[in-house]
Amino acid sequence: MDRRTFFKASLAGGTALAAGAASCPAQARETHPMPPEAVGLLFDSVLCVGCKACVAACKEANGMPMEFSTKDQYWDTPLDISGKTLNVIKAYRNGKMEAKDREENGFAFIKKSCMHCVDPSCVSACPVSAMKKDAKTGVVTYDKDACIGCRYCVAACPFGVPRFTYDSPTPQISKCQLCIHRHKDGKYAACAEVCPTGATLYGKVSVLREEAQRRLALKPGDKTEFPRGHLRAAEEKALQGAPEGKGEQRRQGWKDDGAQRYPGVAGQYLQHIYGEKEFGGTQMLMLSGVSFQKLGYPDLPPRSDAATSETLQHTLYGGLIAPIAVLGALTFIARRNVKPEDGEGGQNG
Amino acid sequence: MADHSYAHAPRPLGGSLFTPLTLLLGVLAGIAGVILLYRLFYGLGAVTNLNDGYPWGIWIAYDVVVGSAFACGGYAMALLVYIFNKGQYHPLVRPALLASLFGYTLAGASVIFDLGRWWNFWHIFWPGYAQVNSVMFEVAVCISAYIVVMWIEFSPAFLEKWGMKDVRQKLNKVLFFFIALGVLLPSMHQSSLGSLLVIFGEQIHPLWQSGMLLPVIYLMTAILLGFAVVIFEATLSSTGFKRQLETPVLTPLSKVMFGLLAAYVVVRVADLLLRGALGTAFAATWQAFWFWVEMACFVVPLVLLATEQARRSAAKLFVGAVLLMLGGFLLRINGFLVGYMTGEGWHYFPSLAELMVTVGLIAFEILAYIVIVRNYPVLPAAQPVTR
């Protein structure tokens, strides 16, 4: 090829690539914001007593099979979330395990289930829209009838949440969907419904965040009240507005929405609401006395990986502008360089 | 216009199809077939060591990610011959394209067996299901399109054999468009195979989590591997079919490859330095160890093929090409498996059945290549070896 052709080819390709790259800032995809009506869970490791009532209730509500880790197989004993288990309580143990919620020589309990990310990797990764995030409630759902079983969601999730039933010829993804199938009956997440201490609360994320902030503002040993079940905004306001001693008014509140409260003492918290900022936020918020990394939760940046991945994809393929421009340039060049009568490979030998 | 030389126009090789080698390849392919059948009835867990910590094994990391990169010979040669108009490499195009055709077609077909819910695979192309933000969507659509384009690109070889002149002439008039597509599509999905790792974020070891540069790194090495594979295959098929070595045309090709290799090493090292990731290469970890092996596979050919003199040596070309293939293999296996850190307690090493499927797939590719070049006009009609 002569210099001129080479120059033209390079120029055409370069222009096309530059056109693609120039669209970069316009295509940058920010981390999604929290849906205003987002619902989720607040898990308070300090309140959790490790009874695992939530694990059993989750199995029942979602019709999940038993899973055994003991030889005798007397009862359901999952060690982690799996294709058969959507929610577990795990124990953190260190040294002599003398005190609860202490890192050194202590122990703690931690819930493991879907975080319902504000900007989930699984939804961005799924090539067939089997993973979806509800625009209103923000619940991350899975549709097995759409799923092709590629497991990109399993690989992408930074929390290791979506699991897969490898042993089945008709496998599917398993993950917590916040019991959305129970919502139409006015019910909510089974794990929160049965939690005796209110360590797992269900409610709007905005309300749960306020409750988390209230607990972090307490001094260890302060007398307070803990709600359990479904925490509602109005109920929360009634409590804060109620002067001391008006217990009757509060008890009225329980009857209204089924939420209950019990007196308790504030524990020792790390000043950190996990899920408030991590990964652009999650709809499961967590409080703990032990560092979240020790409890198996990764230290994540505020930007979601979905935002980075989609910024890249949109920059290269947004509106198919860059590919079409490059194809145009390539077609122009190939047309000059391919002899029509010889075609691919030639044959007049 | 370049002076395309057709003195060595492609011709069927002829010869026997039943040799000890083809029989062995057939048996290996057959074993893989039985395992895959078993997998369909009993699930992925029955034959693979996959788990929720390593949901992707070698059927993705090798068969698709590495396999398709090894099948970039056709792409790299089309880029060189038809876009950069280097007509002297024309005789290498068709054999390279054939190898690519099989590499990609089998990579595409093998994915079906890795999909848990394979009967839904068409969802990926179906409006309403297709999710365009997914890197996987781009990879799947683009690879599928490229497989179709390659069969069209290669069809003149069949049309010649079957004497379908009319169809051939019509196709020839628009072939340039398919050739352009055949350059665009691999550029897209080979880069996207790297982009697949972006969403894994910090789950990928810093030595391989290059973020926005992942597509550049994967695309550069895909073209590099394309050239290396062409040299590798040309040398092997010259030896295997007892034909003259194609060193005179491979020497200038290796110069192009050398330039690209130098550029790649600069990009790779600069990326590690800019991200401050190079320090992790000095930790006592398996990741660091395999990183150095990978880098050696790129740097040694850079030294080995540095002079024109060296590039004239068929042996050095072959060694350089093999090392580059190994380097490209390691870059991908390291990114998708060795450097994939999903939390403590997870382990993965392919099961014997998984390995046998991959081996069988490669065997089937080689077998099909032999059958086609013996029966269809693919390899240039070179003189028998005159030594």
Contacts of B172 in chain A (CB under 8 A): 340-343
Residues A14, A53, single domain; the answer is: no
Q: How far apart are CA B246 and CA B251, in angstroms?
A: 9
Yes or no, beta carbons of B83 and A313 under 8 Å apart? no
List b or e across B311-345, with b for residues whose CB sees 16 or more CB atoms inside 10 angstroms. Answer: bebbebbbebbbbbbbbbbbbbbbbbbbbbebeee
Q: Is residue B10 part of a domain?
A: no
Q: Is residue A346 part of a domain?
A: no
Contacts of A297 in chain B (CB under 8 A): none
Residues A317, A211, single domain; the answer is: no
**B90: nearest CA partner in chain A:** A345
Q: pLDDT below 50 — which residues of chain A?
A: 1, 20-26, 235-236, 240-246, 249-256, 341-349
Q: Is residue B369 part of a domain?
A: yes
Percent of chain B whose pLDDT exceeds 90: 72
**Residue-number span of the structural domain to which B103 is assigned:** 20-375
**B122: nearest CA partner in chain A:** A148
Q: Is residue B14 part of a domain?
A: no
CATH assignment at residue A193: 3.30.70.20
Nearest CB partner across the interface for B84, out of A6, A128, A312: A6
Summarize pLDDT for B254-278 with one digit per residue, the tens: 999 999 999 999 999 999 999 999 9
Residues A116, A236, single domain; the answer is: yes
Given this model, what pLDDT does residue B375 score? 87
Contacts of B193 in chain A (CB under 8 A): none
The residues near A240 (Cβ < 8 Å, ≥ 6 apart) are: none
Q: Considering only CA atoms, which of B69, B40, B33, B24 is closest in space to residue B357?
A: B33
Percent of chain B whose pLDDT exceeds 70: 96
Quote the distance between the C-alpha of residue A342 and its chain's center. 57
DSSP string, B238-297: HHHTTB---HHHHHHHHHHHHHHHHHHHHHHHHHHHHTT-GGGGGSSSHHHHHHHHHHHH
Question: What is the number of structural domains in chain B?
Answer: 1
Higher model confidence: residue B241 or residue A154? A154
Yes or no, beta carbons of B84 and A144 under 8 Å apart? no
Nearest CB partner across the interface for B179, out of A126, A150, A338: A338
Mean pLDDT of chain B: 91
Residues A254, A315, single domain; the answer is: no
Yes or no, beta carbons of B215 and A151 under 8 Å apart? no
Across residues B168-191, what is the average pLDDT?
92
Q: Is residue B73 part of a domain?
A: yes
Yes or no, beta carbons of A337 and B82 under 8 Å apart? yes
Residues A9, A101, single domain; the answer is: no
Yes or no, beta carbons of A166 and B188 under 8 Å apart? no
Mutate to test the interface with B, among A69, A128, A174 (most CBs of B within 10 A): A128
**Residue-number span of the structural domain to which A21 is assigned:** 3-31+307-334
**B120: nearest CA partner in chain A:** A148
Yes or no, beta carbons of B44 and A166 under 8 Å apart? yes
Tokens 């652009």: give the residue. Answer: A280
Higher model confidence: residue A210 or residue B8? A210
Across residues B300-322, what is the average pLDDT?
95
Mutate to test the interface with A, among B42, B54, B117 (most CBs of A within 10 A): B117
Given this model, what pLDDT does residue A15 score? 53
Question: Considering the entire predicted model, what is its pTM?
Answer: 0.89
Contacts of A300 in chain B (CB under 8 A): 201-202
Yes or no, beta carbons of A312 and B198 under 8 Å apart? yes
Summarize pLDDT for B154-169 with one digit per residue, the tens: 888 888 778 888 888 8
Q: Is residue B385 part of a domain?
A: no
A137: exposed, middle or buried (C-beta count within 10 Å: 0-12, 13-18, 19+)? buried
DSSP string, B218-237: HHHHHHHHHHHHHHHHHHHH
CATH assignment at residue B242: 1.20.1630.10
Do B193 and B218 contact (CB within 8 A), yes or no?
Answer: yes
Q: What is the ipTM of this complex?
A: 0.92
Q: How far apart are CA B112 and CA B86, in angstroms?
A: 37
Name the pLDDT band for B186 (thresholds 50, 70, 90).
very high
Given this model, what pLDDT does residue A186 score? 86
Yes or no, beta carbons of B10 and A347 under 8 Å apart? yes
Yes or no, beta carbons of B115 and A148 under 8 Å apart? yes
